[in-house]
Amino acid sequence: MFSPTKGETEAFSRVRSVATAIGLTYGSTIIGSIVVAVATTLLAVFGLDITARPSLRLVLSTILLQGVTFGGLSILYLRFHDSGFDFVSFTIPDRRDVAVTVAGIVTLLGLLVVASTIISSLGIESAQNRIVTIGQQNPTVFLLLIPLSFLVVGPGEELLYRGLVQGTLRETLHPARAIVLASALFASIHLFSLTGEGKLVYVGIAFALALVLGATYEYTDNLAVPAVIHGAYNAVQFASAYLTATGGT
């Protein structure tokens, strides 16, 4: 009877982990879109048409996608994983974690400034996230997204992309490769929320930023660190967008 060699078994394990990571990435987004669509339909039945209120739809979508769907699916996945909830490392940050968190926030914002400067100097266009388009029409939505960045977006996305996706890849791949692939998957998802030209430029920036998030999780082994970094980075962007849209008033 044929028995697979050790190399073949390892190769199969790597393929399975990559397939699982891809499934988690795109499957969660598809399921989240369905959840949002169902919620939108149910609200319409009760007389609340949020399709005509893009700001309300944006806030609801954020809660249902990053919070309910990402969080719910992650918990469900961990419930049936061999390692259970121990698969994701989460602890109260110590002094080193706090230092890494601060450094991570500064690094992300610094990378954004550098990337924006280079793009501007080269005359290259970058796509715009639909969130910005909606927020420019109703700047108040930016203020609502600031607390949601810390409470929903940061924790939800990091639990899925760093905790599950990167963690799954980490089981069979070298840490650096796991971080790169998880970051690529994270960046690719943003394609669905972009408008205008220069989508690849935007995705490239998202990929670079994701590398930092992945590296901080690998270094600290504490999901709280990239979650706070991610939330703070988004919050600063939304605060800046609000000031820009309102002229600082």
- Crossing angle for the helix pair 95-122 and 199-220, to the nearest 10 degrees: 160
- DSSP string over 175-202: HHHHHHHHHHHHHHHGGGGEESS-HHHH
Choice among 35-49, 68-82, 120-134, 135-149 with the minimum mean pLDDT: 120-134
Interval 63-103: pLDDT, tens: 999 999 999 999 999 998 888 889 999 999 999 999 999 99
The encoded tokens of residue 135 equal 């927020």
pLDDT at 207 over 80: yes
Any domain includes 120: yes
* β-sheet bridge partners, residue 129: 194
Instruction: Using CA atoms of 228, 233, 234, 238 in order, give the dihedral in degrees to the nearest 10.
Output: 130
Domain-embedded: residue 1: no
**Domains identified in the chain, total number:** 1
Domain containing residue 16: 6-246
Assess if residue 173 is contained within a domain: yes
Asked if residue 77 is part of any domain, the answer here is yes
pTM: 0.93
- Listed in sequence order, the residues at least 6 apart from 135 whose beta carbon sits closer than 8 Å to its beta carbon are 55, 58, 141, 142, 145, 238, 241, 242, 245
Alpha-carbon distance 56 to 141, whole Å? 8
Give domain status of residue 33, yes or no: yes
Residues paired with 194 in a beta bridge? 129
Judge whether residue 6 has pLDDT over 80: no
| Residue-wise pLDDT tens digits, 9-64 | 888 899 999 999 999 999 999 999 999 999 999 999 998 888 889 999 999 999 99
Whether residue 58 is contained in a domain is answered as: yes
Domain membership flag for residue 17: yes
Q: Which residue has the tokens 């949601």?
A: 148
Q: Is residue 197 part of a domain?
A: yes
